[in-house]
């Protein structure tokens, strides 16, 4: 079975890490036709007057799958976030960010294996801001019952499908009684249909302390948009940083897979960027293909790639940010040899 995947190289280190991930996928034997499109600063450099051209979003909606490198949104200049725009336009309401220890990457924590599930479309990231008077600005936090219930169902379905045991909702309903209150009310009501899965709630500030004290007490962490963004980076720090943290954005009509890290312009073009998070995100994409399109070959390829990068890292074949000596291409080659 062959699949068309929209490839968005991005900018900064994006083209380097997406090229490495593409090489690994091609070497795995899975059949993919790549359709390159652009977003972010790269779109402007290719002649678009938009950070998110219609040709890019139309291609993703047509083919349902995209692998995306990090994209820069210019500061000032009237541009809104390309990542926020992509998630809104494609209705990618559910973000999944797995956090786990990898043997061969030393951190102060062990046995970390949790998943951040983040609502992707509203909250403070709705971008509704107003100048009330000189020196006074308001930012509106949006919460709808539809979105809250949808992301809660998404989290519990993910737990059921993956054999996860517990969902913990992080919130600030003690202060934001209506918006966060709606979020946890919906989570409680959805939980009634998943009685085999444990459910609890933690106030976000106390939750941050609990996570850094003992992250192994968490399984799936369910968050609204802003909290999910913060928790993703905090939890990445437990297992080695953003270079080992993959991500997926799932909607009803499309799915986009991307590393959590940014464009790292200070090392762009030097060939030393760590492509692991992008490769891990591509494994998530293959698992998604296997589930949604009943393609056993994609599932097998995903497992081979995962075994290969785990073996490479355990053998000390790592990029410099992880304490190794390999550059981007050498790390990709180390994985491909093991395939």
In the 3-class helix/strand/coil scheme, how is 257-295 assigned residue by residue? Answer: EEECCCCCCCCCCCCCCCCHHHHHHHHHHHHHHHHHHCC
Domain with 154, as residue range(s), is: 108-239
Q: Provide the 10 A C-beta neighbour count for residue 174.
A: 11
172, 129: one domain:
yes
**Listed residues 216, 239, 262: the one ending a domain:** 239
In a domain, 87, yes or no: yes
What integer is the mean pLDDT of 205-217?
97
Asked, for residue 233, whether it belongs to a domain, the answer is yes
Residue 97 in contact with residue 286, Cβ under 8 Å?
no
Phi, psi values for residue 67, rounded to 5°: -115, 120
Is 268 part of any domain? no
Q: Reduce the DSSP state of residue 20 to 3 states and report it.
A: helix
Give the span between the Cα atoms of 263 and 138, in whole angstroms: 30
The verdict on residue 100 lying in a domain is no
**29 lies in the same domain as 53:** yes
Residue 38 lies in a domain: yes
CA separation for the pair 265, 272 (Å, rounded): 12
Picking from 53, 51, 60, the residue whose alpha carbon sits closest to that of residue 80 is 51
Residue 144 token pair? 């709808």
The DSSP letter of residue 142 is E
Q: 72: which DSSP letter?
A: P
Burial of 62 (0-12, 13-18, 19+ CB in 10 A): exposed
* Prediction pTM value: 0.94
On the question of pLDDT at 209 being above 70, the answer is yes
In this predicted structure, the answer to whether residue 91 has a pLDDT above a threshold of 90 is yes
Dig out the tokens for 307 from the structure.
């075994």
Residue 200 lies in a domain: yes
In angstroms, what CA-CA distances link 187 with 165, 199, 202, 257? 15, 9, 13, 25
- Please report which confidence band the pLDDT of residue 37 belongs to, taking 50, 70 and 90 as the band edges: very high
Statement to judge: residues 72 and 186 lie in one domain:
no
Q: Report the DSSP beta bridge partners of residue 222.
A: 117, 169
Distance of CA 291 to the CA centre of its chain: 18
Contact 57, 2 (CB under 8 A): no
Q: What is the DSSP letter of 1?
A: -
Give pLDDT, residue 325: 97
Contact between 286 and 301 (Cβ < 8 Å)? yes
Query: Over 80: is that where the pLDDT of 55 sits?
Result: yes
Q: Per the structure, how many domains does the chain have?
A: 2
Instruction: Compute the distance between CA of residue 67 and CA of residue 57 in angstroms, rounded to an integer.
Output: 13
Tens-digit pLDDT profile for residues 140-172: 999 999 999 999 999 999 999 999 999 999 999
| Residues designated as active site | 125, 172, 205, 229
**CA-atom Rg of the chain in angstroms:** 20
Does residue 282 have a pLDDT over 80? yes
Do residue 143 and residue 175 come from a single domain?
Answer: yes
Do residues 216 and 302 both lie within one domain?
Answer: no
Secondary element (H or E) of residue 114 = strand 113-119
Give the model's confidence band at 77: pLDDT under 50 very low, under 70 low, under 90 confident, else very high: low
Closest CA to 28 of 277, 331, 307, 278: 307
């Amino acid at each position: 079975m062959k699949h068309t995947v929209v490839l968005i190289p991005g900018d900064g280190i994006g083209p380097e890490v997406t090229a490495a991930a593409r090489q690994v996928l091609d070497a795995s034997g899975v059949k993919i036709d790549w359709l390159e499109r652009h977003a972010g600063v790269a779109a402007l450099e290719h002649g678009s007057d938009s950070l998110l051209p219609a040709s890019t979003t139309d291609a993703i909606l047509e083919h349902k799958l995209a692998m995306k490198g990090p994209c820069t949104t210019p500061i000032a200049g009237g541009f809104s976030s390309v990542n926020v725009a992509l998630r809104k336009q494609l209705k990618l309401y559910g973000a999944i960010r797995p956090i786990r220890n990898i043997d061969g990457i030393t951190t102060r924590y062990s046995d970390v294996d949790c998943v951040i599930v983040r609502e992707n479309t509203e909250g403070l990231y709705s971008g509704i801001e107003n100048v009330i008077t000189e020196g006074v600005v308001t930012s509106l936090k949006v919460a709808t019952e539809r979105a809250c219930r949808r992301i809660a169902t998404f989290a519990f379905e993910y737990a059921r499908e993956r054999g996860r045991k517990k969902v913990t909702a992080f919130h600030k309903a003690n202060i934001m009684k209506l918006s966060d209150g709606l979020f946890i009310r919906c989570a409680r009501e959805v939980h009634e249909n998943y009685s085999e899965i444990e459910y609890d709630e933690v106030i976000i500030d106390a939750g941050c302390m609990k996570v850094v004290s003992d992250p192994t007490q968490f399984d799936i962490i369910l968050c609204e948009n802003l909290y999910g963004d913060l928790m993703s980076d905090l939890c990445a720090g437990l297992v080695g940083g953003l270079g080992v943290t993959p991500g997926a954005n799932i909607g009803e009509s499309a799915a986009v897979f991307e590393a959590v890290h940014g464009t790292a312009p200070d090392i762009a073009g030097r060939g030393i960027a760590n492509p692991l998070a992008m490769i891990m995100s591509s494994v998530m994409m293959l698992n998604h293909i296997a589930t949604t399109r009943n393609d056993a070959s994609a599932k097998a390829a995903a497992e081979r790639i995962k075994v290969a990068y785990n073996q490479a890292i355990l053998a000390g074949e790592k990029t410099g940010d992880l304490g190794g000596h390999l550059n981007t291409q050498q790390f990709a080659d180390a994985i491909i040899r093991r395939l």
